[in-house]
Amino acid sequence: MKTKEELSKQLLDMKFVQTTANTFKKEVDGKMYLVDFKNKQVCRQEGEYGMTRIDNDEEDATLVKLQELCDYVVEPTADDVPEEVKDEIVDQPIEEEIPAANNLVPIQTTQKHTIRGIKGIVPQLCECGKIKIGKKGQVTTSRHGNQFRPPSKLDHFEITTTEKQNDDYVIDHAVMATLPDNPTQIPVMLLYDSPDLNFFTSYAYYDSAQCQCRGDGEYAVKADGTQIECNPETCKFATTGKCKPNGVLSVVLRNAPRVGGVYKFRTTGWNSIRNLMSSIEFIHGLTGGRLVGLPLMLTLQQKTTVIPGTKTPTTIYHVNLEYMGTIEDLLNTAANRLATADQVAALEAKATEMRALPESAEECKDIVEEFYFNENCKYNQG
């Protein structure tokens, strides 16, 4: 029998490569062999990832021969080793100890994942405030004994924050200070090239908690997701005034002291809805489809009309969107805008997702009180 040192030298002479203090490997006839003195076994590579021990394989002469060598290894005892080299012959790997062959398993790798933000959250521009041409009036008592605040018209724009005080939105004094007293014009810019993303219109039936039904005149979607026919001439909610045309214009105020949010103007008046749709489509056509970044003016105008079925004249106020300049000026401004078509397309894709988000219960309550007024509704002073 030979010592490990003697057999190690013999294997090295046979062109084996020492991988650890106890293991050697060599490729023979296209097969990789591993000699493990510590476990007294010889392995042959099987497949791409593992080494499998094969005992008494008489068809593999190399394997039989190496196994015989391995079986004749004699480990030295403590008495056979000089004191000065005892610490040098422990099973300390040269690089890393290879585990027993029958314990080897394929190595599984996983791709490192980079966290880039919470999934499922749709980016949405903050609503900085509201543009209003009406508000709640003084507290009145109905014939049924209910207290309520009927809507009150304004002959000018008021810009408010989204905060409330005594059930009224707080005037945004920082923005109003940039405008003349009782302003009828507000410098604004639009966010998108798509007209319907800037000014979203629909028929809508609200109650105090949510929008119960929203449609486009052909199809409508109820709060539970059911799709139904939308015909304002036959719908019982439309004919009784519970379902009304709605328009929401989202703009950036050019003179506002902060950037990063939008101001919204909401209306249920046919005149304002028709004016805003027409003017946005007209400017959109003139500029070849460009609306983002154009310096526009939101205007409030008044006209006298006669209420249908009566001879009583009344004054109504309607809103329009205009460019203050010549057509040539408008075309030059549109041609020199900074945003590219790709940038605008990316913004509009996000805006389409945002528009599908439901309104809050508080917002629905405000819409009902201002635009779906009913004197039978109780006024909540708290």
pLDDT for 215: 92
What percentage of the chain carries pLDDT values higher than 70? 66
The answer on 169 and 249 residing in a single domain is yes
Q: How many whole angstroms from its chain centre is CA 157?
A: 33
For residues 37 and 185, state if they share a domain. no
Domain shared by 130 and 77, yes or no: no
At residue 266, the pLDDT reads 92
Q: What are the tens digits of pLDDT across the range 213-248? A: 999 999 999 888 899 999 999 999 888 888 999 999
DSSP, collapsed to helix, strand or coil, labels residue 160 as strand
The 10 Å Cβ neighbour count of residue 7 is: 19
Domain assignment present for residue 380? The answer is no
Q: Can you tell me whether residue 6 is helix, strand or coil?
A: helix
Q: Assess whether 160 and 307 both reside in one domain.
A: yes
pLDDT, one tens digit per residue, over 15-48 is 788 877 778 788 777 777 777 777 777 777 665 4
- Least reliable range by pLDDT among 29-33, 149-153, 212-216, 332-336: 29-33
Q: Look at residue 57 and tell me if it is in a domain.
A: yes
The whole-chain average pLDDT of the chain stands at 76
Q: Residue 305: beta bridge partners? A: 314
Paired tokens of 152: 């009150």
pLDDT of residue 280: 95
Asked if residue 32 belongs to a domain, the reply is yes
Strands 296-306 and 185-189: antiparallel
Q: Which of 300, 297, 366, 295 is CA-nearest to residue 336?
A: 295
3-state secondary structure of 345: helix
In a domain, 72, yes or no: yes
173 and 272 share a domain?
yes
**Residue scoring higher pLDDT (368 or 108):** 368
Is 163 in the same domain as 299? Answer: yes
Tell me the pLDDT band of 325, cut-offs 50, 70 and 90. Answer: very high
Q: Give a yes or no: residue 36 inside a domain.
A: yes
Who wins on pLDDT, 335 or 78? Answer: 335
273 shares its domain with 331: yes
Place of tokens 């097969």: 31
Which single residue is written with the structure tokens 């209306």? Answer: 267
- Cα atoms found within 13 Å of the Cα of residue 376, Cβ hemisphere only: 0
Q: Is the pLDDT of residue 91 over 60?
A: no
Tens digits of per-residue pLDDT, 272-301?
Answer: 999 999 999 999 999 988 898 899 999 999
Measured between alpha carbons, how far is 6 from 278 in angstroms, rounded to an integer?
Answer: 99
Task: Mark 194-232 as b/e (b = at least 16 C-beta within 10 Å).
Answer: bbebbbebbbbbbeeeebbbbbeeeebbeeeeeeeebee
Residues 49 and 132 in one domain: no
pLDDT at position 87 over 80: no
Tell me, yes or no, whether 85 and 179 share the same domain. no
Contacts of 48 (CB under 8 A, 6+ apart): none
Residues 38 and 184 in one domain: no
Which residue range forms the structural domain that includes residue 87? 2-103
How far apart are alpha carbons 365 and 237 in whole angstroms?
Answer: 18
Q: Is pLDDT of 119 > 70?
A: no
Domain shared by 196 and 336, yes or no? yes
Q: Which tokens go with 49?
A: 């990832």
Number of domains in the chain: 2
User: Which residues is 253 bridged to in the sheet?
Assistant: 188
Query: What would the two tokens of residue 362 be?
Result: 């508080």
- Residue 319 has a pLDDT of 95
Q: How far apart are CA 304 and CA 314, in angstroms?
A: 6
Q: Quick one: which of 198, 205, 195 has its CA closest to 238?
A: 205
In a domain, 213, yes or no: no
In a shared domain, residues 314 and 184: yes
Predicted pLDDT of residue 57? 57
First to last CA, the chain: 101
- Cα gap 333→287, rounded to integer Å: 9
